[in-house]
Chains A and B, each alone.
Chain A
C-alpha cells in the first residue's frame, strides 16, 4: 500500500542528510518502497486486496439481483451461471453473490473506520504521553494498563446487547478498544525519538511542544504506524465478524462477512456454498492484510538497509 508521505517530510538524521537523500532519491520511504516491490508475496497480497476491494464496490452491478429481495421459489439454490446466482442463494432465496459483496463492503468499512478511530486516539495519546514524560506519562499509561486488563470483548458484547445493533456503535466500541496497542507502540517510539538531536535542536530553538509533536515526532512515527494499521484492519474485521457471528453485529437485511458465515454455518449440511464463499472472502482478506503488514514491516525495518 502506498503511503501519502513525500520523501522530504521525514528527516531521519537532520536536514543536511535529508537533502542528499532526496537528491539521490533514496529516502527511507523510497527505499522501503523498493524493498516492498521486491517482496513478491506482499505485492501479490496488495493486488488481491485491490481486486477484492474493486469486487465489493462494483461487483453488485454485475448481478441482476439485489441483496435484500427474497426469491421464495429459489431457496438455497446451488451456484449457477444460468440463473445469475453466481454464489447460489441463501435460506430465503436471496442472491448470495450480491450479499457477499455487500457484506464485504460492511466488513471492510468497519475495518477502516474503526482503525481510523484507533489511529487518531492511539497516536495522540501515545505521542503526548511519550513526549510529556514524567507524571503525565505515568498516569496516561496506567490508564492504558487498566483498560488493557479488562475483558473488553465481553464489555463490547454487553454494549451491543444493551443498545441494540447499531453500526455506529460497532465502530466506536471496536475503535475505542483497539487503540490501546497503538498508544503503547507510539509511546515507545516517541520516547526514543525524544532523545534524537533534531528534537533537541527544535527545543533549543524554542519551538512549542505541540509543534514539535506534530512536525517532528508524528512524521517519524508514520513507518511503524503504517505497519500497525495494516495489521489492525484484519483484527477489527475479525472482531466485527465475531460480533456478527454471535448475532450482535449488523442488522438484517444488511450483512457482513461474519453474519454470512454464521448463516452459512447453519445450513452447511445441505448448502455448503452459503458458508464457503463468505468464509473464503473473509479468510483471503485477512490473509492478504497480514501478508502486506509483514511485508511493510520488513520493508521499513532500518536494520535491513
Chain B
C-alpha cells in the first residue's frame, strides 16, 4: 500500500524543513540566533514528518481493519443464514416430536399417579371398613355376652341342683316307708299269733264236742271249720311277713342306690359349678385379650389410613406438573405452527418477523401456577408454604 504519494506525505515536510534550515544558516551567516532558529526548524520539520508518517500508518491500519471486519461480517452472515436455516429445520422436525414426548411424559405421569391414588383410596376404604367391623365386634359388648352366658349356665346348674334336692326328698319319703313296713311285719306276726290261738281254741272245742257225744256232733263240724280258718290265717300271716321282707329289701336297695348316686350327683353339680366359673373366667380373659388386640388393630388401621391420606396429599404435585407440562407442550406446538407459517411466508418472498416480546407476554398469560411465573421472570424459588392459602369472600 506504500505509494509515491504516501512517501511524499512524510518526505515533503522533511525536504521543506531542510531547505528552510539551509536558507536560515546562509542568511544568518552562522551566528548564534541563526543556528538556534535553524535547529528549531529542523526539529519541527522532523516532527511534522514523523506525525505524517504516524497518521498514514493509522489510516492504513484502519482501512485494513475495516476490510477484515467486512469480510468477517460477510462470512458470519453466511454462517448465520446457514445456521438459521438449519435451526429452522431442526425446530420444524423436532418441535412436533418434543410436543409428543412431553405429552407422553405428562399423560404417563397422570395415569400412574391416578392409579396410585385410586389404589391408596381403595386401601383407605378397606381399612375404614375393617376398622368399623372390628369396632362392632369389640363394641357389641363381649362383657354383656359373658354376663348373659354366666347367668344362663348358672341357672342351668341351679335347676340341676333343685332336681337333686327333689330326689333327696323322694328318697327320704321312701326311707319313711321302712317304718311302715316294720309295723306291717308286726301286724303279720300278730295275725300268726291269733291264728295259733284260734287253732288251739278249735282243738279244745273239738275235744269238748267229742265228749258231748251225739249232741256235740254239729259243734264238732264248726270246730273243724274254725281250725281250717286258723290254718288259713296262719298262712296269710306268713305270706304277709314274706312280702314285707321283699318290700323292705327293695326299699333298702333303692335307698342304697339313691344314696350312692346322690353323692355323685352333688359332687357333679359342684364340679359343674366350678367348671362353669373357670370356663367363663378363661373366656373373659380371652375376650379381653381379643378386645384389646382388636382395639389395637383398629387404632393401627386408623393410623395407616391417616398416613396414606397424608401421602396422598403429596400426590397433588402431579396436578401442577401436568399443568406446567401441558403449557410447555402447547407453547412448543404454537411455536412450531408459527415457524411453519413463517417459512411458508418467506418462501413466497414475504417477510414475517416474530415479535419475541409479544410471544413471551402471550406465554405468560397461559400460566396457571405461581412457579411458572417465577420461572418466567427468573426470580428465586421461595420455600414452599406449609399452610394452605385460603381466602374467604
Chains A and B form a bound pair:
no
A→B interface (CB under 8 Å): none
